[in-house]
Amino acid sequence: MRMYNVDTSILLDCFEKRGENGEYSLKFLEFIISTDSLIIYSDLHIRELKNTGYTYDQIIVLLSPFKKSIKKIHIYSFQLSEAKLIARQRDIPKNDALHAVLARDNNAIMISRDKHFQQIKDIVETRLPEDFT
């Protein structure tokens, strides 16, 4: 079973139906369901979605169609420490570094459009949603 860590902006593309990016994101999520793959998510995703204005209840509703295809993972303190170091060394946002570390540690492919992931491609494989449609 293949696992993916989906950047929060990709989820927002889908949930908010953001044009072509939203269509690609939706098709990617349909791919996940049809191939019995899993999306990993953590409290980082929940926090980022809350920071964009979603309530916890709204987030649960948004994720509910995918409940059989998602797996919650824990963030460990050593991962936070490593992400802070990577962010500082490579001048990227701490949350992006943490997403990368979580994906790597869970043998997941990172799904993102964010250019910062190009700076850490030695840590995690990153692909676009349309690579799977």
| Closest by CA position to 41, among listed 102, 126, 87, 122 | 102
- At 62, is the pLDDT very low, low, confident or very high (cuts 50, 70, 90)? confident
- The C-alpha atoms of residue 97 and residue 111 are separated, in whole angstroms, by 13
The pLDDT > 90 percentage for the chain reads 85
Specify the 3-state DSSP secondary structure of 17.
coil
Spell out the SS3 assignment of 33-59: HHCCCEEEECHHHHHHHHHCCCCHHHH
Say if strands 3-6 and 108-111 run parallel, antiparallel, or are unpaired.
parallel
Domain hosting residue 54, numbered range: 3-132
User: Burial code of 43-63, b = ≥16 C-beta within 10 A, e = fewer?
Assistant: ebbbebbeeeebeeeebeebb
The count of domains in the chain is 1
β-bridge mates for residue 127, sequence order: 111
pLDDT at 22 over 80: yes
Specify the 3-state DSSP secondary structure of 75.
coil
- At 3, is the pLDDT very low, low, confident or very high (cuts 50, 70, 90)? very high
- pTM exceeding the 0.75 threshold for the entire prediction: yes
Q: What is the CATH number of the domain that holds 101?
A: 3.40.50.1010
Q: Kindly report, residue by residue over 74-132, the tens digit of the pLDDT.
A: 999 999 999 999 999 999 999 999 999 999 999 999 999 999 899 999 999 999 999 98
List, in order, residues 6 or more apart from 11 with CB less than 8 Å away.
25, 45, 49, 62
pLDDT at 65 over 90: no
